[in-house]
A and B are shown apart, each in its own frame.
Chain A
């Protein structure tokens, strides 16, 4: 083959300098050379040539664009995963009445009508280790009106009626594994939905760089980003129901739940408006990311509960552009 002949002639030893223009005949394939060194060399040359061509193409395009000036067609929008996202039919339309009606009558209606004040109970699984304990404490400072209780072997099903009796509105259980928290069960108490999340990348306050002082007792604001589908909406409302309704703007604190590709990032910041168009934020408080695993209709019940949504790996993880929240 002509190509191989060239390879034999030039690709020896350390590799002589590549010529300016190498012509690869179309039938030549780099993978056909048996000798590894020569093959590698030819492959590098081929790569260089590809890069040169690409660069030349870019330059040409840019020149054309400049030449056209104002009449140039607008720049193409790069494709991102969010752009290419498979359209989910449960996406909520802002003007949807059915959704509005549903939300007016579901379990969070009393909260949004300001009839109930949230009271949260935070607990862990059995025998929490140091990290989890500290994380619980910090979470308690972030969420106003919350109490931490430790479990010494108490069954969840039995403490739930007790909680309802004592007027708690939400229950958070942080599951622990190998001394780090890795799961979160959030259930709205008076017979509300229960969501089970996988928690990852937990950072305590001391691990956050450039953090401010402790979060104060003021009620923070809540930001919920990117909860588009029906499922996302219910989860978003669940999170919103954790915080009291009237944020105290004096406190200048904001808790953010940002959903991106089915991962919910939680951050807690303090903000300050430097001018009208500029705001500075400083991160204080713990941070973690959640991924929804299941959503149950009633309170926590693993055997007899009615599941509204479970993450089924085989069915739901098939496409990289498909998200459910």
Chain B
């Protein structure tokens, strides 16, 4: 609702009574007429300007009401100190992360764990090594049989059967863990234990007996250990 304020020169001496107030009607046209009849003896120019101002005010009031109904953008102030701190920490974390090395290591790990199956020709080398190790460590016959079983199995099957034992944090392979059977799990365990001799030496012996006690499927998560060589961010 708008008010019309009028000022007369006779009252200039009394500031409190200087302005006279009239409430205008809600209807736009009627309000214009009221302005006209209130400012009847005032010059034409002033009346016109007053009506223009009134128009503008009503328009922006309408717009305000419309906008408050829509979703409004909430402005959140940035805090400079915090922004700077976070940027700096991000840079340091980036340096400490050594992403390229980490990715390469992970890919090589997966290659070793044979998640890629037979696509690449390299695994022969690792396979031979594994063979030799197994022959050396345990009785040859039973292991050789198991090896042949591995060979004869399909690529896919072999993928998931071996993948379950590997230190995967890759969740795309997790379902393979869940769908593998117990027997294969126990069977493959030993083979993989000896095959993955490189990194998991400390871990696999633990895994073996632990696994045997619990028949259900366990999921392993990979934890990246930070190479403790050089880090600028300390």
A residues engaging B (CB < 8 A)? 77-83, 92, 94-95, 100, 103-104, 112-114, 126, 153, 155, 200-201, 221-228, 233, 236-237, 240, 243, 245-247, 249-250, 254, 256, 258, 260-263, 265, 267, 269, 271, 273, 275-277, 279, 281, 289, 291, 313
Contact = CB atoms under 8 A, between A and B. Distances in A.
Report which residue of A92, A126, A223, A227 has the largest number of chain B beta carbons within 10 angstroms of its beta carbon. A223
Interface stretch (B32-40, B114-122, B135-143): B114-122
B175 interface: yes
B122 A275 contact: yes
A271 B106 CA distance: 11
Interface string B211-234: 000000011111110101001011
B103 interface: yes
Given A228-B223, A273-B120, A223 B103 contact: yes
B103 to A, nearest CB: 5
A240 to B, nearest CB: 4
Interface stretch (B4-12, B85-93, B182-190): B85-93
A59 B75 CA distance: 58
A246 B159 CA distance: 12
B97 interface: yes
Given A112-B174, A200-B87, A240-B171, 13 more contacts: A112-B171, A112-B175, A200-B90, A201-B90, A221-B172, A225-B102, A225-B106, A225-B222, A240-B170, A249-B119, A254-B107, A262-B93, A281-B104
B172 A256 contact: no
Interface in B78-126: 82, 86-87, 89-90, 92-94, 96-97, 99-100, 102-104, 106-108, 111, 116-117, 119-120, 122-123, 125-126
B96 A82 contact: yes
Contacts of A94: 218-221, 223
* Secondary structure type dominating chain B contacts: helix
Interface residues of B, number: 50
Contacts of A100: 218-219
5 contacts: A82-B226, A201-B90, A225-B169, A261-B89, A261-B96
Given A92-B221, A95-B218, A276-B126, A258 B231 contact: no
B210 interface: yes
Contacts of A228: 223
Contacts of A81: 96, 231, 233-234
B83 to A, nearest CB: 9
B97 A113 contact: no
B169 A279 contact: no
A80 B90 contact: no
A258 B90 contact: no
B107 A261 contact: no
Given A94-B221, A224-B171, A271 B102 contact: no
A109 to B, nearest CB: 10
Contact of A245 (B93, B99, B107, B175): B175
